[in-house]
Amino acid sequence: MSDKNFTKEDILRIAKEQNVRFIRLQFTDLLGTIKNVEIPVSQLEKALDNKMMFDGSSIEGYVRIEESDMYLYPDLSTWVVFPWVTTDRVARLICDIYLPDGRPFPGDPRGILKAALKEAEEMGYTSMNVGPEPEFFLFKTDEKGNPTMELNDQGGYFDLAPTDLGENCRREIVLTLEEMGFEIEASHHEVAPGQHEIDFKYADAIKAADQIQTFKLVVKTVARQHGLHATFMPKPLFGVNGSGMHCHQSLFRGNENAFYDESDKLGLSTVARQYMAGILKHARSFAAITNPTVNSYKRLVPGYEAPCYVAWSASNRSPMIRIPASRGLSTRVEVRNPDPAANPYLALAVMLKAGLDGIKHKMQLPPPTDRNIYVMTEDEREEQGIPSLPLNLKQALDEMLRDDVICDALGDHALAHFYELKEIEWDIYRTQVHAWEREQYLTLY
């Protein structure tokens, strides 16, 4: 994950020097799952020449059988040798997906983010910087290696061993990530027992999304080596905080942060305020992407530090957008509703498009909400014009379809397939009979 610009020759040389035997050509499906096409090193040169094909019809939300041939175009800057395999070493390259006629495949999430960034560039913003904060839980596994619901510790926010039994696992995750070129800024126990957070240095949007995917892979791999199961499920346990993936973001023009204005009372430029206004306007519509599962909406409830109201503040942590204290080049907005089940490429694409829409239409940012929104009544929230995020996945999907900006960000192919997959998910959930219902009603009626 370094910023090194590898050439084809560099990669072939390193593969030979480090005795790499297999290469995983990685990409991400619409639901955010990492997919691999593994090739022996003898095929590496062919892959580096963009000649490696795969069957797209076998991938969730990709294509039908009759149009299934796809090409993998590796991004050479993503070359890395996995540190946890010592014999028969394995390396990986993250790929973009192309059609046989040379056009980018419209259902490739990485390509969708690239298209949104191209629009930002046409508006004069050369980069979008993103600092993600994905949280996760560590559960113990049983003798067969399957996850149990038993947490690995009873630690709390910033706790250290002996309470935080995940510390050794977390330390090894950090060391592994650093070996793979990540710059780790902080690693600590989160509020809930068994919950952890590792923050890495901000990067441009594509690299940040690549890093989130690599991060998830490393966390799960190292946890397994410690006899633990790492999950990025947004709300695995009732009654404790869920896992979020706050996304700090800013737009740059060259080396200049377009969000900073020293003459402003809060240090925020007009562009930053318009961007935030766009995020707030489209928040209910992009929730289906940033919070994409049935379970996501169990996290977005009052009382557990997750934002469920569409508002902003420079100080208060209950609204959806917070402005961290740093200024100058570090001026940024922190969007707090995304969770780590989100496909990072799609999540960043829809937030960027929402923000750009705010800039294009010179949207007015509503006043900040500096009171604790959780203690406001519904009437008070309505009076202040503070809507709620959708209450469930079905509401979120309906809101998404009504918003042209978000539909446009995804494009027809991804929108149709994503919606179809999520409708099925909602329907399965809606028609299930859950344990809670039996507890409530079986003897009562």
3-state secondary structure of 168: helix
Choose the catalytic residue: 197, 339, 399, 403: 197
How far is C-alpha 271 from the chain's CA centre? 24
Q: Point out the catalytic residue in the list 29, 167, 190, 339.
A: 190
Of the residues 196, 246, 284, 417, only one is catalytic, namely 246
Catalytic residue among 110, 189, 332, 336: 336
Catalytic residue among 10, 49, 55, 404: 55
Selection from 100, 125, 94, 90 nearest residue 345 by Cα: 94
- Going by the DSSP 8-state scheme, the letter that residue 52 receives in this structure is E
Known active-site residue 133: yes
Distances in Å between the Cα of 65 and the Cα atoms of 55, 57, 59, 106 are: 8, 5, 11, 16
Is 322 one of the annotated active-site residues of the chain? no
d(CA 389, CA 141): 35
Q: How far is CA 386 from CA 305, 365, 390, 424, in A?
A: 17, 12, 13, 31
- Compute CA distances 416 → 64, 69, 423, whole Å: 13, 20, 11
Identify whether the C-beta of residue 312 lies closer than 8 Å to the C-beta of residue 368: yes
Residue 197 annotated in active site: yes
Contact 6, 79 (CB under 8 A): yes
Contact yes or no for 290/369 (Cβ under 8 A) = no
Beta-bridge partner residues of 284: none
Catalytic (active site) residue 317: yes
Say which of 13, 171, 253, 317 is annotated catalytic. Answer: 317
The question of whether 67 is a catalytic residue gets the answer no
- What are 298's two structure tokens? 């169990």
Does residue 121 carry a catalytic annotation?
Answer: no
DSSP 40: E
Does 439 qualify as catalytic in the annotation? no
**Active site amino acids:** 55, 133, 135, 190, 197, 246, 317, 334, 336
